Amino acid sequence: MSQINIKYERPLKGEISPPPDKSISHRASIISSLSEGKSIIRNFLNAEDPLRTCNAFRQMGIEIEEHRTQNTEHRQKADLIIHGKGLMGLKTPKDIIDCGNSGTTMRLLCGVLAGQPFSATLIGDSSLMRRPMQRVITPLTEMGAVIQSEKGGYPPLNIKGGKLKPIDYKSPVASAQVKSAVLLAGLYCDGVTSVSEPEKSRDHTERMLKAAGVNIEIKDLKVSVTGKAKLKPLDTTIPGDFSSAAFFIVAGAIVPDSKILIKNVGINPTRTGLLDILKMMGADITIGNKREVSGEPVSDISVKYSRLTGIEIGGDMIPRAIDEFPILCIAASAAQGTTKITGAKELRVKESDRIASMSKELRKMGVEVEELEDGIIIKGRARLKGATTQSYGDHRVAMSMAIAGLVADGETIVEDTECVNTSFPGFMEMLEKLQQ
């Protein structure tokens, strides 16, 4: 079992580029596989989660060529050529499909499998096997798929696809995975399938389906897709992952005298709640060199240390910062005063129960924390206490606790850190580079 040992060395200085975006990488492999012809995907995230999605499509007969860029700053990227076979070009997988730790792989695949003339079984690791799937089972069943699950809607899932009918689905949760599963299934329907959500979640699926020539209409919180289109192959470059950059944005903001430039970061507004939150807390962040790359907004972000102040966060800010909660807790722990986060019950069903995980681990580092059913109250302190902490097998908890170690007295150990490879192989090398 691997661990991270970390202590403050010196201010963080220098330039980095985060690994490619995980959410967009998943979608690129799915949409290319369903398109008709050869797609070129540059800067694909070569990490465990998106590779699970690629392997699922390989199991269903799609040829995916991988060209790794070796001597770059990262070992986390690859260029892919995907030979799509159209919406109906997939073959019955011979084996069970193992989605590993990846909720996105499992939930988005459900949408694709719902429209297939065969059945397939999906499993995952111990974390994924405990995550709720009823949220995709309900709309896909209404569309006509037959899905068997464990009692309560847990994996393994057996999905028997078939002829689907369009629906107008009102999702009870703001979830890009649910929205995407319904939109992907909608590709297999005659007519228009719609999905509405209570707050806006990330919109990468909508953007990429449009790029593939699919008719997508967006009206406030409702997205509609017209089915049975022929998908055009993609020629796309994936931007750097804002959620991976987030660890360094916070590190730069809280480690005294730091100054970092983070280049080529996706700043899709459905993802950048953390920037707004940190600015409200008093962070010194500048967004420069704004541009558009393959239909996604991208920029270079510079961050300088400044003393942060606690604030209250809730409402529609939550889905825009949903994956940044663990690292936001570290910012709050290092801020002056109290930070209160509410309306974030979804965090209970992520790769770990992130409200419980972060509460427990921050207490070990001397932080006063109150756990709420749907959030957390954190009282910041000038320095944290070095401690031996746990990741709960959750990549974002592991990386957040490592950043906490930079503002703690003495050494901090983070145990069980292999999970970092699900989204960010090379995380420690990048941090070490900034410490030189």
Ranges of H-type helices in 382-426: 395-404
Specify the residue, 85 or 200, whose C-beta has the smaller distance to ligand S3P. 200
Specify the residue, 206 or 416, whose C-beta has the smaller distance to ligand S3P. 206
Give the DSSP H/E element, type plus range, for residue 210. helix 204-211
Q: How far is the CB of 350 from ligand S3P (least distance, A)?
A: 6
**Residue 323 appears among annotated catalytic residues:** yes
Whole-angstrom distance, CA of residue 123 vs CA of residue 114: 16
Specify the residue, 195 or 377, whose C-beta has the smaller distance to ligand S3P. 195
Q: What share of the chain is helix, strand, coil (3-state, %, to 5)?
A: 35, 30, 35
Whole-angstrom distance, CA of residue 47 vs CA of residue 244: 12
Q: Which of 323, 353, 374, 416 is catalytic?
A: 323
Q: How far is the CB of 323 from ligand S3P (least distance, A)?
A: 5
Q: How far is the CB of 178 from ligand S3P (least distance, A)?
A: 6
Residue with tokens 């209409």: 217
Beta-bridge partners for 146: 160
Burial 58-92 (b: 16+ CB within 10 A, else e): bbbebebeeeeeeeebbbbbbbbebbbbebeebee
Q: In what order do the strands lie in the sheet with 375-379?
A: 312-313, 338-341, 375-379, 368-372
Q: How far is the CB of 92 from ligand S3P (least distance, A)?
A: 26
Q: How far is the CB of 29 from ligand S3P (least distance, A)?
A: 12
Can you give the binding site for ligand S3P, defined by CB under 6 A?
23, 26, 104, 175-177, 180, 201-202, 322-323, 346
Specify the residue, 77 or 202, whose C-beta has the smaller distance to ligand S3P. 202
Whole-angstrom distance, CA of residue 419 vs CA of residue 425: 9
Per DSSP, which regions of 124-209 are E strands? Answer: 146-150, 154-160, 168-170, 192-196
Specify the residue, 305 or 392, whose C-beta has the smaller distance to ligand S3P. 392
Q: CB of 274 within 8 A of CB of 246?
A: yes
Q: Which residues are catalytic?
A: 323
